Structure 1
Amino acid sequence: MFNRTSKNDDIDINQDVNELADSLEALLKSYGSEAKDEVDSARSKAQALLKQTRAKLDGNSNRVSQAARDAGYQVDAYVHDKPWYGVGIGAAVGLVLGALLVSRR
C-alpha cells in the first residue's frame, strides 16, 4: 500500500556518517602533530565528506516528505472509496484516545 525507502539508503548514510566521523577523528589527531600538509589534507577530506553527507541527508529528507505526501494521497483515496471504513477507523481512534485521557486522571 505504501512505498518504502530501501534499507540500502540507510546503510549508505550510516557508512557516510562513519566515514565522516573517521575523517574528523583524523583531523583532530592531526592537530596534535606539527605537519601542516597532514592537517590541510585531513581538513579538506573532512570538508568534502561533510558536503557529501549533507547532500545525501537533504536528498533523503525530500524523499521522506514525498513518501509522506504519497501516503496521504493514498489514505485520501482509500477514504473516498470506502467512507464508512474511514468513519469506523476515526471512531476507534477517538475511543482509544478518550480511554487514554480518562485513565490518566
Structure 2
Amino acid sequence: MRAFTEERDWGQFHDPKSLILALVGEVGELAELFQWLPADAAADRAREGHLHERAGEELADVLIYLVRLADILDIDLGTASLRKLRSSSSRFPTAQFHGQAPDKT
C-alpha cells in the first residue's frame, strides 16, 4: 500500500483524519449492502453471486484504508491485534461469557 501510494504521490492526501474518514465511508458502503437483509439470512446471501463480489470489494477497501492508516501511525497491526485479544481474553473469561454477549450497562 505504501508503494502504491508513493508511486502516485498520494501521500500528501493521507493524513490520519482523511484516512479515517475514507475508512468510515467504506464501512458505510459495506453496511449499505447488508442494511435491509434479514439478519438470519445475510451470511448465506453474501456467500455467492453479486453480493459476494460486492462485499469482497468493500471489505478490501476497508482493509486497504486500515492498513494505510496503521502505516501512517506506525502501528503494527499484528502486534496490536494480539495485544487486544489478550486483553479481551482477560476481561471476558470463557467460563463467564461463553454463549453470552457482554452486558454494556
Q: Which has the higher helix share?
A: 1
TM-score (norm 1): 0.42
